[in-house]
Structure formats: structure tokens, C-alpha cells
Structure 1
Amino acid sequence: MTGAVSYHSGIAAEAAVARFYEQHGHVIAARRWRSAAGEIDLIAR
């Protein structure tokens, strides 16, 4: 995969996981949260 295809595939996968969590009663608190140590794709409550 090219960089752009990989990027968009990752975004689509994250969106699908977020929908799954929301359908099961979770609230998405943050997406793609970044710090100096790295990135967390989803933070759910």
C-alpha cells in the first residue's frame, strides 16, 4: 500500500471501531490523541 492508502485505511478502521464502541454505550473522549511519547488512536469512556 502507498502511504496515502495506508493512512486512509487506518482512518476508516478507527472510525469503524469508534462506531462499535458508541453503539455499545461508550463515549469517544478523544481521537488521535498525541503526546511526546506517541499517539493513542481512540480514548473511550
Structure 2
Amino acid sequence: MIFAEKLKKERKEKGWSQEELAEKLFVSRQSVSKWENGRTTPALKSLLS
């Protein structure tokens, strides 16, 4: 399973919207959408902050 698929699966299992996940990670909803669609991947450094 690639990152985009796993992220979307985990988010949905927790019942979170893209907006809710974005708030938890301190990123924009658009970033989460891009990650889930495989258009970009998050910078590991930004997720560890």
C-alpha cells in the first residue's frame, strides 16, 4: 500500500475529515488532499515538528 492510500484509509478509520487531520498536523486541508491524491508527499521534517 502506498502512502497516499494508507493515509486516506487511516484518516477515514478514525472518522476524521481532511480538515480535522490538517489541523492536527498544522498544515492546510489542501496539503492533506494532495497527499491523499498522490500529487505530493509530506516533508518528514514538517510532520515531526
TM-score normalised by L of structure 1: 0.35
Structure possessing the higher relative contact order (Cα contacts under 8 Å, 6 or more residues apart): 2
Higher strand share: 1
TM-score normalised by L of structure 2: 0.33
